[in-house]
Amino acid sequence: MPIETRSLRPTMGAVVTGIDARRPQTAAEVAAIEAGMDRHAVLVLPGQDLTDEQQLAFTRNFGPLEEGANSTVRANELRLAPTFADVSNLDKSGAKLARDNKRRMAALGNRLWHSDASFRAVPARYSLLSGRIVTTDAGNTEFADMGAAYDALDAATKAEVEDLVCEHSLIYSRQQLGFAEFLPDERVSMRPVLQRLVRTHPVTGRKSLFLSAHIGAIVGWPRPEAMAFVRDLMEHATRAEFVYVHRWTKHDLVMWDNRTTMHRVRRFDDLNVIRDLRRTTTRGDGLTVTEQAIR
Ligand code: OGA
Ligand code: MN
Quote the ligand 1 centre to 217 CA distance (angstroms).
Answer: 24
Report the percentage of the chain scoring pLDDT > 90: 88
pLDDT at 295: 40
Q: Taking Cα atoms as reference points, which of 75, 64, 80 lies closest to residue 122?
A: 64
Tell me which CATH homologous superfamily contains domain 4-283.
Clavaminate synthase-like (3.60.130.10)
**Cβ–ligand 1 contact at 117 (below 6 Å):** no
pLDDT per residue of the chain (295 residues) written in tens, 0 to 9 = 799 999 999 999 999 999 999 999 999 999 999 999 999 999 999 999 999 999 999 999 999 999 876 666 677 789 999 999 999 999 999 999 999 998 898 899 999 999 999 999 999 999 999 999 999 989 999 999 999 999 999 999 999 999 999 999 999 999 999 988 889 998 999 999 999 999 999 999 999 999 999 999 999 999 999 999 999 999 999 999 999 999 999 999 999 999 999 999 999 999 999 999 999 999 998 899 987 754 4
**Cβ–ligand 1 contact at 279 (below 6 Å):** yes
Round to whole Å and give the CA distance between 78 and 85: 10
Mutate which of 118, 277, 278, 282 to test ligand 1's pocket (most atoms within 8 Å of Cβ)?
Answer: 277
Quote the ligand 2 centre to 254 CA distance (angstroms).
Answer: 12
pLDDT at 291: 72
Quote the ligand 2 centre to 210 CA distance (angstroms).
Answer: 14
- In the chain, the DSSP E strands lie at 4-7, 14-17, 42-45, 85-86, 124-133, 141-145, 165-168, 193-196, 198-200, 207-209, 215-218, 243-246, 253-257, 261-265, 276-283
**Cβ–ligand 1 contact at 115 (below 6 Å):** no
pLDDT at 279: 98
